[in-house]
Amino acid sequence: MNGANAGAVPGGAGGEAPLVYQAWKGNNVFFLQGRFIFGPDARSLFVTMFLIIAPVSIFCVFVAKGLMNDFSYGLGLPVMVAAVVFTAYDMSLLLLTSARDPGIIPRNAHPPEPEGFEGNAEVGANQTPPLRLPRVKDVVVNGITVKTKYCDTCMLYRPPRCSHCSICNNCVERFDHHCPWVGQCIGLRNYRFFYMFVFSTTLLCLYVFGFCWVYIIKIRNAEQITIWKAMAKTPASIALVVYTFIAVWFVGGLSVFHLYLMSTNQTTYENFRYRYDQRANPYNRGVVENIKEIFFTPIPVSRNNFGARVPQEQGLRPRSTNGFMSPNMGRAVGDIEMGRKPVAWDEPRMAAEIGDLGGLGNLLEDKDGRFRNASPDLSRDALAVGGLDEQGSSAMNPPRTSWGVEAGR
């Protein structure tokens, strides 16, 4: 694998510019010359694969094989083949989720041109007043004005529903969350496969759980013994029953939660940050249209060609920024997005809800453990524009790759 870190990368042979994946400033890991892109915590994929493949292997060896050898119903072989095919399908969905561009927006080489002067800037008689980019811009979505924020790291205005992942260090379109189990951000281009992976894993757990009980009952009927003695004769079945029973609560609960999100056209990030059940959701177009948007619309082409050469301009030194001010220069550290201080929600309840998602517990927490501001960027809230952009916090708190750390900004 090839890791791409921030910083200059020497050109190729003959002074050629490096490839995009070689000069990548995010925290991603690339494989096969940029054909596959993973998050920095891609090693967690091996854990996820083991947690799926190991129990299925035990099932095939001790349960499906037992059905095939001990009973002449021709049941064992189809059960084993189905388990293997289903597992292969599940693994393919896992790789489609974790090894593709989730919807990364390429960062700009330079900040956009400032459009005006900062009105309250103090300047001398012969000095040019500093220019400041507006912190937010308004975009109308289904008749509702949504504020798009400026990202200092990527030097661009994020499109609606885009957020910056502090783990991967990229702006991702329709950012849902960073999933440590797949080692990748979940966004516009892989959310469909993520849900299909979680749902198919749920079905696989139910499949193994059900046929373990079939095997136990067949032993009981064949030997005319109690169910407890039959269970004692197949300890592998009991271990798998317990394992799949626990696992199905996690993946099954996640499947139900994301089914709710899809039906209301929300992301995990929006659900815990904006609370659309209490405010208007500009993206909700009805259950049928929302589901069609996820599963029956073409997946957009990636904005990044990781195997291409870096454009010559990106290899040059950035132009001078004398007199230019970022939207967040001079902001107080305590100011949070939209100029409001953090809102004290019912934090124990929220922490319990988020904890159930496995690894998302601290998705929206600040360093001191309090939740970030939950106000949506809608003009109808009449919120004051100002305060420290979320990029400011990332500059002082470098991204971490441990599970459960905050991801979306």
Would you say 131 and 122 are in contact if contact means Cβ atoms under 8 Å apart?
no
Catalytic residue status for 171: no
Q: How far apart are CA 325 and CA 161, in angstroms?
A: 25
Q: How far apart are CA 382 and CA 380, in angstroms?
A: 5
DSSP helix/strand/coil, 202? helix
Place of tokens 């059905």: 67
Q: How far apart are CA 178 and CA 360, in angstroms?
A: 8
Start-to-end CA distance of the chain, whole Å, equals: 27
- Which amino acid is present at 64? A
Q: Which is the catalytic residue, given 179, 185, 205, 212?
A: 179
**One-character DSSP codes across 89-142:** HHHHHHHHHHSS---EEPPPSSPPPP-SB-TT----TTSPPPEE--SEEEEEET
- Which amino acid is present at 331? R
Q: Six-digit token pair at 373?
A: 């501001």
Burial of 372 by CB count in 10 Å (0-12 exposed, 13-18 middle, 19+ buried)?
buried
DSSP type of residue 387? S
Phi-psi domain of 183 (left: phi exceeds 0; alpha: psi -120 through 50; beta: other): left
DSSP type of residue 60? I
The pairing of beta strand 131-132 with beta strand 104-105 = unpaired
The HSE-up count of residue 85 (CA atoms within 13 Å, CB side) is: 6
Q: Six-digit token pair at 184?
A: 């990748």
Would you say 353 and 360 are in contact if contact means Cβ atoms under 8 Å apart?
no
- Which amino acid is present at 175? F
Residues acting as catalytic residues: 179
